[in-house]
Chain A
Amino acid sequence: MMRHLISAADLTRDDAVLILDTAEEMARVADRPIKKLPALRGRTVCNLFFEDSTRTRISFEAAEKRLSADVINFAAKGSSVSKGESLKDTAQTLEAMGVDAVVIRHSASGAPYRLANSGWIDAPVINAGDGTHQHPTQALLDAFTMRRRLIGPDAGIGQGLDGRRVTIVGDILHSRVARSNVDLLHTLGAEVTLVAPPTLLPVGVDSWPCEVSYDLDATLPKTDAVMMLRVQRERMNAAFFPTEREYTRRYGLDAERLAKAPGHAIVMHPGPMVRGMEITAEVADSERCTVVEQVANGVHTRMAVLYLLLGGNEPAVSHSRTEENK
């Protein structure tokens, strides 16, 4: 049985559908006057954030609190980590405090895997983003948003995303969101096309379970959901494209370009958006853009993951991890 959620590639189709179905029920709690469930009462969850991320942290925190867990927030900045404490020492401190689960965000790819498999700590580990590697709960909330919008909240129960076509556009190289989405969407039966300048595609992308294109205009007409990625300037240590204007001209999404996609196609963005660069304000504010929904769905999906990993005496999600998925 899977105790941790490290990578979207670890999830079987049944696991992924179970998480999405559970998230659908969690979403109903958000409509109630008392948005709380007692499932994790008496359990302590630590949000261990070695890298800043307000959005993901408060999303996890909201999910944990709605399940009645006790929450400890740990930010590396200003902590003993900045004095040189290692991940191992931090983990052992948490273990000694009796933490029941750790949600970890780290700038180093593989840090959550290390934490989960080193024996330093016994609690389940949930990856909240590690380096350029994985961000599984983001992929789950994206899949949840697609299923709700493209199939419908009730009609989608028990279903994957078979035959749906998803285009992911932009900085694939630095994007753990793209990597996680390709893994999960493939598991759920969707066809993924990556669109990016050749310089922003990782080595070995041809072995990923997806198509690759350099031409957004040609891909859009065959798309049910187009996911724009943020251009992560902070991770870029070289010139990956000539100018921002050039990037926007070829890979930016404006209303004119969006018109080439089918009428039902949705526009997604993991946030934060750089308006005017990868997406115009007009598209970002349109009804077809799901950015705000994605934020709300993030809480429902994370509640589902926390409940399924921690709610019982053993996790409900099965384990099929292979080393090459790392």
Chain B
Amino acid sequence: MSRLEILATGALATIQDEGRPGLAGLGVGVSGAADLRSLRLANRLLGNESGDAAIEVTFGGLALRARTDVDIALTGAPTPATVDGVPVGLNSPVHVPAGGEVRLSPPSRGVRTYLAVRGGIDVQADLGSRATDIMSGIGPAVLTPGTVLGVGSRALEWPGVDVAAVRTPIGDDLDLRVVPGPRHEWFVDDALEKLCSAPYEVSAESNRVGMRLTGPVLERSREEELPSEGVVRGSLQVPPTGQPTLFLSDHPVTGGYPVIGVVLSADVDLAAQARPGQQLRLRLTEVGQP
């Protein structure tokens, strides 16, 4: 079996797949890659199943050694990457010979880079998934130097793609589509307009659970407590500060603050690449509209 030895991890590196849907009734969130689109692309480039497990690298800094010949692909935040010191590109399958070292520098834009390997990362699945849920503590441990990861041997035909053309609007101001949330009526009449009136800045208090946003204050029209209720990925939940939190993959299953809007699922992938200090613009749309 092929193996990868982790030499360095940077700020945070975890194993992620498409998560564990179906268990929210037990208090277990879906988790999975913060930027699902990038995870799936990395897998497709290698002929993997789209939900195979890969490494989610936060702000670069990952280094690993291949103990046997492997094929990898990097997607997501554009990190300068090398194999044995030779620069390699993103969004493309890359061969790594036995003993070869892969190193990822901090990305110039974006936050999360995905390193997939042909055959998929093979670690023990918990509740049907290899995703690390940092909030519930379920799934494989956060990667540390010295960890040795198995690589699966099952893969499909090579897709015959040398490089995928990817539009990565993750450097500049992000434009995210949002629809009115289930509790938008709990806010004053012009609150949804206000949500979309000026950009929000991504605060440093951001992780796989969610991103705190700083910008126009959203005022409530109802002051009573909302009984806790289920929330979805992409929800903009508004605590008493009036500043929304955008829920990402490891969000709590239920929340007790009203959700004023929900970012469409495809755009949550983009949001997951926003860096602290970066600006997000929310654009009101309707479900099903581009």
To the question of whether A and B form a pair in one complex, the answer is no
